[in-house]
Structure 1
């Protein structure tokens, strides 16, 4: 079921897939030439917050969480990136260290593009700078919206929003007619919502009793997306 007209998903998703799509052939070929592909197991670190930014990463397969860790060791997941998205480019463009960490949440294939090669291609490109500026502007809107939600919404509403967003991410790799299975740990879900794991378990149980979702092990299947959107308080249903 599409969310069009029901939920403003564009307010919650970055659009970095569009950075490399339909690039001029010579520019895409140059980027591809410098890609160094690597396989990652579930839970592997790609880069750490505060590390020197050595390049950008293109997710060819899998999903990656971007997160920050506070002084008490608590993790806050900022965003989950899908296949086709770029990560790590903020630090490269700002010539700063990575502002967050990135780790896989499932087995992934990720291509690394060294900083010098990416910057050289961007400097002679007529397309990449404009696209990056547009993407960064949209990401600012997404992050501002997320900050507003954390300040004004209840844990239950934030969980509903997070499940809706994750459903769209896992939908991309689900064959037509098959159930969309959200495969994420309860700990990661809690770190996305900004609450304790016990709250996540309690509200998932409540949603399950209401017929909104089913769950098996770590996998969650949304059965009544309209009702979940109502709980989120952000939709048009």
Structure 2
């Protein structure tokens, strides 16, 4: 089921998929000259907050969480990146260390592009700077929206929003006609919502009893997305 006209999904998703798509051949060559592709197991660290930024990462397959860790060691997941998205480029553009950490949520194939190659492509390209500026502007709007939600929405509403967004992310790699299964641990779900695992379990049980979702182990299938949108309080927002 499409969310068009029901839920403002663009307010919750970055748009970095389009940054590297269909670049001119010579610009693509600069980027790919020393590209290194690597397979990651579930739960592997890609880079850590504060590490020297040595390059950018292009997710070819799988999903990655971007997160920060507070003074007591608790994760706050900022964003879940899908296949086709770039991560790590903010630090390169700002000439700073990585501002957050990234780890795989499932088995992934990720290509590493060295900093020097990325900057060379950026200097020579007429297309790439405009795409990056557009992506960064949209990301700022998404993060501003997320901060507002954390300040104004209840835990139940934040969980509903998170499940709707995750449904769209897992939908991208689900075959047509197949049920969309959200495969995220309760711990990661709690770190996305900004609450404890006990609250996640309690509200998931409530949603199950209301006929909104079903679970298969840790996997979640949204059976009534319209009800979930109503719970989120974000229906038809513009």
Per the TM superposition, whether the score is higher than 0.5 is yes
1:116 aligns with 2:109: no
Q: Which runs of 5+ in 2 are unaligned?
A: none
Q: Which runs of 5+ in 1 are unaligned?
A: none
Q: CA deviation at 1:34?
A: 2.3
Q: CA deviation at 1:20?
A: 0.6
Matches within 5 A, 1:1-237: 1-236=1-236
| 2:75/2:191 contact within 8 Å kept | yes
| Secondary structure in 1 matching 2:19 | helix
Distance across 2 between alignment mates of 1:30 and 1:177: 40
Aligned-residue Cα RMSD (Å) equals 0.8
| Secondary structure in 2 matching 1:57 | strand
Q: CA deviation at 1:78?
A: 0.1
Distance across 2 between alignment mates of 1:2 and 1:169: 13
Q: CA deviation at 1:216?
A: 1.0
Q: CA deviation at 1:215?
A: 0.4
| 2:213/2:222 contact within 8 Å kept | yes
Q: CA deviation at 1:25?
A: 1.9
Scaled by the length of structure 2, the TM-score of the pair is 0.98
| Secondary structure in 1 matching 2:22 | coil
Runs of 4+ aligned residues of structure 1 deviating over 4 Å after TM superposition are none
Distance across 2 between alignment mates of 1:6 and 1:24: 37
Q: CA deviation at 1:30?
A: 2.5
Once the two structures are superposed, residues 56-75 of structure 1 have per-residue CA deviations (whole angstroms, 9 ceiling, x without a partner) of: 00000000000000000010
| 2:30/2:118 contact within 8 Å kept | no
Q: CA deviation at 1:27?
A: 1.2
Length, aligned pairs only: 237
Scaled by the length of structure 1, the TM-score of the pair is 0.99
Distance across 2 between alignment mates of 1:221 and 1:150: 24
